[in-house]
Amino acid sequence: GAVVSQHPSRVICKSGTSVKIECRSLDFQATTMFWYRQFPKKSLMLMATSNEGSKATYEQGVEKDKFLINHASLTLSTLTVTSAHPEDSSFYICSATSGILRPEAFFGQGTRLTVV
């Protein structure tokens, strides 16, 4: 399968600081990337959909100003958690698809964020 690399895999930050998570498609051009969060023993929750060169589409209830998403190129999307708080601690996962050429989505390794 295709390779999607997510970095960092783990991060601990202080409350009030911002954290940036990168998601890269290594061997294909990702026209669409998705960002999810997952709490322990819970389902994946889609946060937003990002298409290269355009603004992200956020799911209902997800704060746009808190979770900043940028998809500046066909191989890179970033999620920035701004002014992080302990309740933002979660497992964040990206996925990428090349759309009609290859509609199946491949997931990054995930980032475990802990806000202290």
Partner 1 sequence: QKEVEQNSGPLSVPEGAIASLNCTYSDRGSQSFFWYRQYSGKSPELIMFIYSNGDKEDGRFTAQLNKASQYVSLLIRDSQPSDSATYLCAVTRGSNYKLTFGKGTLLTVNP
**Contacting positions for partner 1 (CB under 8 A):** 1, 6, 32, 34, 43-44, 46, 49, 91, 93, 95, 97, 99-100, 103-110
Nearer to partner 1 (CB atom), residue 49 or residue 80 = 49
Q: Is the peptide bond before 8 cis (omega within 30 degrees of 0)?
A: yes
Nearer to partner 1 (CB atom), residue 100 or residue 116 = 100
Query: If DSSP codes are grouped into helix, strand and coil, which group holds residue 78?
Result: strand
The conformation of residue 11, written as its DSSP 8-state character, comes to E
Q: How near is the Cβ of 13 to partner 1 at its closest, in Å?
A: 20
